[in-house]
């Protein structure tokens, strides 16, 4: 299923971060993000037209208007690439929404490369969160949904 401008989302998900937090660039520029689901996914599994919203209850707090995702549950992780330091400085305290915790993630191959270089012994990585069995659903709206493990 590919979403189009006329598709109504089958699921509307509310996340613990939005445009008044890490996605503030969305309010000021053409900043599009692609959600990556961190859960085991069956290629034959059902996917649904979805939209992603921040926690503020404000109509501007829409992070992703249309995307296709498997059915998610409370506690499932949705990951966004390239959400680094430039997205943190613009966070506001609108509506007293709590800022979500930060987790640093990397691929297994990058982790081993850093480990071989001796970098993982560095104390600066003591707060690093590593997910050894990360199954990511990556897609583009014009492509079939591949599974990357």
The whole-number pLDDT of residue 66 equals: 92
Residue 86: CATH number of its domain: 2.40.37.10
Q: Print the domain residue range for 31.
A: 11-98+132-148
Residue 148's pLDDT is what?
39
pLDDT at residue 4 in the model:
42
State both tokens at 116: 């071989």
User: Which segments in the chain show pLDDT lower than 50?
Assistant: 1, 3-6, 132-149
Q: Is 118 among the domain residues?
A: no
pLDDT for the residue numbered 140 = 36
Residue 33 lies in a domain: yes
pLDDT in the model for residue 137: 37
Predicted local distance difference test score (pLDDT) of residue 146: 39
Give the pLDDT of residue 61. 93
């Amino acid at each position: 299923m590919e979403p189009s401008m006329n598709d109504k989302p089958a699921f509307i998900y509310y996340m613990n971060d939005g445009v008044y937090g890490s996605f503030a660039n969305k309010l000021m520029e053409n900043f599009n993000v692609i959600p990556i689901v961190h859960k085991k996914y069956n290629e034959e599994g059902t996917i649904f037209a979805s939209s992603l919203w921040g926690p503020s209850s404000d109509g501007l707090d829409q992070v992703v208007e249309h995307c296709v995702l498997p059915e998610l549950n409370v506690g499932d992780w949705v990951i966004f690439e390239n959400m680094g330091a430039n997205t943190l400085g613009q966070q506001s305290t609108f509506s007293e929404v709590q800022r979500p915790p930060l987790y640093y993630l990397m691929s297994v191959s990058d982790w081993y490369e850093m480990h071989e270089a001796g970098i993982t012994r560095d104390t600066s990585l003591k707060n690093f969160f590593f997910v050894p069995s990360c199954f990511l659903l990556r897609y583009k709206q014009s492509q079939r949904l591949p599974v990357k493990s």
